[in-house]
A = this chain, B = another copy of it.
Amino acid sequence: METPDEKLWLDRKIRSWERLWEDLEIGYLDRDIIDILVEFFLRPKSFTTSSCSGRIVVMDAEYPWDKEETMIIFKKHEPVTVDEIIEVVERPLAYRPWLSVQGPIIHVETLDIDEAFEVLEIARRAGFKHSGILASTKKGILVELRTGIRVNIPLGSRDNLWVDKERLRDIISLANNALRQAKDRLARLRDELRKARPASLWSPPSIPPAAQHYLKLLGVSPAVK
């Protein structure tokens, strides 16, 4: 096992902290999840890289796990309407349309293996049961947090849909409901992180204006280094 280099890891954490607030400004970031990401940054031995709060996508794919041949043709982090989906699945397709609900995914980089297992336990308490430690390199120990929430529905073949409009309505209501459950898990993760917050928090090198809002929301005022 390769163990993380502390200097390299901390450099990445600071860069990721700065990018977090840049991404928020640009609109790249999923607002549903920012306070959770901040909770991870406040832990002295963790930070997050990519993350998703849960989403509904339509893929054009033979099978959605064949990543190379899969095209995401629709993506939304909130509930969808029947019309939005019909508009997408009626386009000409290369393979077939799949409607997929994906629960939240958060990638955490920890400085050591103890912290990795602690993050894993917090996540499991919040219902992120498909979480695991994926790799350990000089850059950090990568922990992936995932729930079991996953719907993957083939809606037809390239040329015709398997479901009529009425059925599609039922399927979409089911998908929206699954997405809601995914967002609920985020709330549970937020609570568990808060309960497990370390006594001494990370001191970021700077606190951008946008960050102040979220730190206030979390009720913390970390020292700036």
Contact B157 A154 (CB under 8 A): no
User: Least Cβ distance of A81 to chain B in Å?
Assistant: 19
Stretch of A11-19, A130-138, A206-214 on the interface side: A130-138
Interface membership of A33, Cβ < 8 A: no
User: Least Cβ distance of A92 to chain B in Å?
Assistant: 19
Interface SS of chain A: helix, strand, loop or mixed? mixed
Bound Cα distance from A120 to B65, whole angstroms:
19
Q: Mark A114-133, 1 if CB is under 8 A from B, else 0.
A: 10110010000000001111
Contact A117 B136 (CB under 8 A): yes
Copies of this chain held together in the complex: 2
Contact A153 B150 (CB under 8 A): no
User: Least Cβ distance of A165 to chain B in Å?
Assistant: 12
Interface membership of A73, Cβ < 8 A: no
Closest to A161 in B: B167
Closest to A130 in B: B130
Report which A residues bind B (CB closer than 8 A).
Answer: 1, 63, 65, 113-114, 116-117, 120, 130-136, 144, 147-154, 157, 162-163, 167, 170-171, 174, 177-178, 181
New contact pairs (10) apart from A133-B133, A163-B167, CB-CB < 8 Å: A1-B117, A65-B149, A65-B150, A120-B134, A131-B134, A133-B134, A153-B153, A154-B171, A162-B170, A163-B163
